[in-house]
Structure 1
Amino acid sequence: MEFEDRSRIGAFRFDPTDEILVGNYLVNKVLAQPLPHDAILEYDVFQADPSNLPGGEKHLDWLKFFFYNVGAAVFEDYDNRVAGNGQWKILQKHEDVELPETVQWICKKSTFIFWESKRTRSVKTNWTMEEFRVAPKSNPSQVADMAVYRIWKNSGRLQA
């Protein structure tokens, strides 16, 4: 979905809660069920710097980017994932996301910060990424290959 001109009347701002993102989008995607609408692109977020993701830098003052991964990614180091000219480093790993009792899935959320490679060192950026993965409650170790990502650029000072 492209967001060409946010000044248009009826501009669409997609900013679901964790529960809606997982329960209405990720679970339905994993089960190949119909989705509420096509607000989330399929894209390998580890192929580019966050500023080069589809959607560009046009609307970063209010927009968060959402992507499904395009396949089962295998990482040498889960906590540090190479992407573009840098890497996503883990900030918080496998936080539980509360889903309604009726949902037969559990969800784990991990949060990452993007570090850009600058010559011989890495520099922390304002980019944050949240990764959501699900598994059936009946077999929590059977985590789905599909994940959904929320990526945004924080305004102001770098995080500590």
Structure 2
Amino acid sequence: MGDNNANLPPGFRFYPSDEELVVHFLHRKAALLPCHPDVIPDLELYPYDPWELDGKALAEGNQWYYYSRRTQNRVTGNGFWKAMGIEEAVVTSSSNKRVGMKKYYMFYMGEASNGIKTNWIMEEYRLPDCASSSSRSSKRKSQPKADYSKWVICRVYERNGDGDDDDDGRELSCLDEIFLSLDDLDEISLPN
């Protein structure tokens, strides 16, 4: 993990679920509550290309985590983040209650009209738009809740370029590699 994690105990690993990212980190950040341990940095994503996140965002394996202000501008120095059209609800495991939303983005090199698709993926987590129903009744009451929509938490990673869309950024175990290498039984010579 990066240099900003010097106060963490030995062996600390950061592999939060979607629910944990939203409930224990993003909700606390948006509500201006302290978060212990405070390991995820604030970072404006859009000046940085994804490969520049190392050393700036919280790194765990080949994934980077950071808070950012929600914005429509997703253009970096060398490309842009394009929405993949996939947005899903983040729900609690205990009550199946919706606590946030997750949207996927893919990084493209170049300009929007003729960008080249890369293997970089961003999962952007936001809190649900709970202020929309109360904004009809009273503008003053919805002002404190408007801050919730300003923060997002992002998970960025580079998936393998072998066309495997199911890669979650985790390495294969030795046994997994052995089983995957046994896909062509014709090449294995068996004793007589």
TM-score, scaled to structure 2: 0.62
Q: Cα RMSD between the aligned structures?
A: 3.4
The 3-state SS of whatever aligns with 2:149 is: coil
The 3-state SS of whatever aligns with 2:150 is: coil
What is residue 51 of structure 2 aligned with on the other side?
Answer: 51
Q: Deviations over 1:50-77 (max 9, x none)?
A: 0012427xx78x33100101x34243xx
The 3-state SS of whatever aligns with 1:113 is: strand
Structure that is richer in strand per residue: 1
Structure that is richer in helix per residue: 2
Q: Percent identity?
A: 28
Provide the C-alpha distance between the structure 1 equivalents of 2:83 and 2:34, rounded to a whole number of angstroms.
32
Please identify the structure whose Cα radius of gyration is greater: 2
Tell me if 1:94 matches 2:87. Answer: yes
What is residue 66 of structure 1 aligned with on the other side?
Answer: 65
Counting matched residue pairs gives 146
What is residue 150 of structure 2 aligned with on the other side?
Answer: 145
Tell me if 1:82 matches 2:75. Answer: yes
- Structure 2: runs of 5+ lacking an equivalent: 136-145, 166-192
Q: Alpha carbons of 1:126 and 1:92: their partners in 2 closer, same or farther (altered >3 Å)?
A: same
The CA deviation at 1:156 is: 3.6
Q: Deviations over 1:63-94 (max 9, x none)?
A: 3100101x34243xxxxx31220111111343
The CA deviation at 1:147 is: 0.6
Q: Alpha carbons of 1:158 and 1:125: their partners in 2 closer, same or farther (altered >3 Å)?
A: farther
Tell me if 1:13 matches 2:13. Answer: yes
User: Does the CA-based 8 Å contact 1:106-1:134 persist in structure 2?
Assistant: yes
Provide the C-alpha distance between the structure 2 equivalents of 1:122 and 1:136, rounded to a whole number of angstroms.
31
- Structure 1: runs of 5+ lacking an equivalent: 76-80
User: Does the CA-based 8 Å contact 2:91-2:98 persist in structure 1?
Assistant: no
TM-score, scaled to structure 1: 0.73
